[in-house]
Amino acid sequence: MAVEIVYEENNKIGIIFPFDAQILDIVRTIPGRQWQPANKKWTFPDTDANMQHFLLSLYKTGRFNVDEKALENQEPSHSRYLEKMLQYLKLRDYSPHTIETYKMQLKWFFDRTELSPSEVTTEDIKLYLEKMRTLAGCSRTYFVQCVSALKSFYKYGYPGGLFNPAASIPMPKKEKKYPDILSREEVKKIITSPSNIKHRLLLSLIYSAGLRVSEAVIIQLQDIDTDRKVIHIRQAKGRKDRYVMLSTEIINMINQYRSKVMVHTWLFPGSAGADTHLATRSAQNAFYKAIEATGIEKNVSIHSLRHAFATHLLENGTDLRYIQELLGHRDPKTTQIYTHVSTKDLKNINSPLDGLL
């Protein structure tokens, strides 16, 4: 069996072959194909996706020769489309973290399934997600990231937008979980535990203003306004600036800190020198060391200091709208979680057991 492939005008590919039911079935799976009765040949749009699909389908029949060495040296089929998608996401101003996450998810998917982009079906994606859940115990976040990455890949990277096997896959329902909340006494133990003055200031600052750790480590001296008692948080989550409170206690701690630590640009310089800021991972490690030293057994992370900040403000009577602004939440529903974990109203309700015995 021989199949002749010729280039036509108007970005078309022509296919000529003796009648064969198996080859005909392959041609009929190509979008935009047309039969040219005068020339007795099929044509279809000249796109990478169409050619890749057609050649791969021919190869799978086992009836055609192939240069095995060329296949071994071939670039992974998804790489060229991946770069196109990444360029588009950068133009759309996606965060570097999101772009890197999508890149890793796509690498894992194509490496583990060993499928080319033209082969992937909706069922393949569902089976992959099911395996990752049962074998690896992957979380909802992993599912969302994987499906979002595949949707973007086929929408912005794969040529022609011919199909998107991830488009019809629904996102898994959100789990309704509430975070463990640190008490004021537990927070005090944590922020006073480190012997390192930089780590004490860092943990205290995160709690005092309800900061994300990624926001705290990139604070510069110019962002701290001691006269107005505010800190300028620049380009936080969602590419938004905001101002947060600067407590008097933090001002005193910063003065003590600067008398012992040489600070130029970043409030928390990194180990590589004055030109870098403290790494997020280093900040997290400082928190876990404090947890270990205090013996607190709650399921908490450094982000729990931000949760504690919001909850303690709410219990002190601060309006939820102000807390939303301080946290930088776009949706008030995100802030409303603290109404569920606050004990402010629960303390005013007596258990029916009280007074019974």
- Residues 187, 193: Cα–Cα separation, whole Å: 10
Q: What is the DSSP string of 108-142?
A: HHHHHH---TTT--HHHHHHHHHHHHHHH---HHH
Task: Kindly state the average pLDDT of the residues 99-108.
Answer: 91
Higher pLDDT, 348 or 20: 20
pLDDT one-digit tens code per residue, 253-279: 999 999 998 888 899 998 766 678 999
Catalytic residue set? 212, 237, 303, 306, 329, 338
Q: Kindly indicate the confidence band of residue 227, based on its pLDDT and cuts at 50, 70 and 90.
A: very high
Most confident of 73-82, 83-92, 165-174, 219-228: 219-228
For 10, 103, 104, 158, 161, the CA distances from 97, given in Å and listed in that order, are: 41, 10, 11, 22, 25
Do residues 307 and 181 touch, judged by C-beta distance below 8 A? yes
In this predicted structure, what is the pLDDT of residue 357?
60
Burial 277-313 (b: 16+ CB within 10 A, else e): bbeeebbeebbeebbeeeebeeebebbbbbbbbbbbb
In this predicted structure, what is the pLDDT of residue 262?
86
In this predicted structure, what is the pLDDT of residue 114?
85
In the predicted structure, residue 355 carries a pLDDT above the cut 90? no
Q: Are strands 224-225 and 230-236 parallel, antiparallel or unpaired?
A: antiparallel
Do residues 304 and 179 touch, judged by C-beta distance below 8 A? yes
- Residues 192, 9: Cα–Cα separation, whole Å: 75
Long-range contacts of 222-226 (CB under 8 A, 24+ apart): 223/267, 224/254, 224/267, 226/251
User: Tokens in use for 201?
Assistant: 């200031």
Higher pLDDT, 296 or 334: 296
In the predicted structure, residue 103 carries a pLDDT above the cut 80? yes
- Residues 103, 88: Cα–Cα separation, whole Å: 13
Average pLDDT, the chain: 85
In the predicted structure, residue 85 carries a pLDDT above the cut 80? yes
In the predicted structure, residue 93 carries a pLDDT above the cut 90? no
Phi and psi at 181, nearest 5°, equal -105, 130
Compute and round to an integer the Cα radius of gyration of the chain. 29
Task: Kindly state the average pLDDT of the residues 320-329.
Answer: 87
Q: Kindly indicate the confidence band of residue 354, based on its pLDDT and cuts at 50, 70 and 90.
A: low
- Residues 126, 123: Cα–Cα separation, whole Å: 5
Give the residue among 151, 53, 39 at the shortest CA–CA distance from 105.
151
In this predicted structure, what is the pLDDT of residue 10?
78
Length of the chain: 357
Q: Both ends of the chain: CA-CA distance in Å?
A: 92
Ranges 36-40, 171-175, 182-186, 296-300: which has the least confidence: 171-175
Task: Kindly state the average pLDDT of the residues 203-232.
Answer: 93
46: left (phi over 0), alpha (psi -120 to 50) or beta: beta
Task: Kindly state the average pLDDT of the residues 202-206.
Answer: 95
- Residues 134, 121: Cα–Cα separation, whole Å: 20
Q: Which residues does residue 41 pair with via DSSP β-bridges, in sequence order?
A: 36
In the predicted structure, residue 181 carries a pLDDT above the cut 80? yes
Place of tokens 């199949």: 3
Residue 37 CB-half CA count within 13 A = 0
In the predicted structure, residue 340 carries a pLDDT above the cut 70? no
Give the residue among 9, 8, 15 at the shortest CA–CA distance from 30.
15
**The pTM of the whole model exceeds 0.85:** no
pLDDT one-digit tens code per residue, 29-75: 888 889 988 888 899 988 877 887 888 888 778 787 765 555 445 54
Q: Kindly indicate the confidence band of residue 79, based on its pLDDT and cuts at 50, 70 and 90.
A: confident
pLDDT one-digit tens code per residue, 267-321: 999 876 667 899 999 999 999 999 999 999 998 999 999 999 988 988 888 888 8
Higher pLDDT, 322 or 59: 322
For residue 341, what is the enclosing H or E element? Answer: helix 337-341
347 Cβ contact partners less than 8 Å away, ≥ 6 residues apart: none
In this predicted structure, what is the pLDDT of residue 346?
57
Do residues 278 and 217 touch, judged by C-beta distance below 8 A? yes
For residue 52, what is the enclosing H or E element? Answer: helix 48-60
Task: Kindly state the average pLDDT of the residues 171-175.
Answer: 74
Q: What is the largest CA-CA distance in the chain?
A: 98
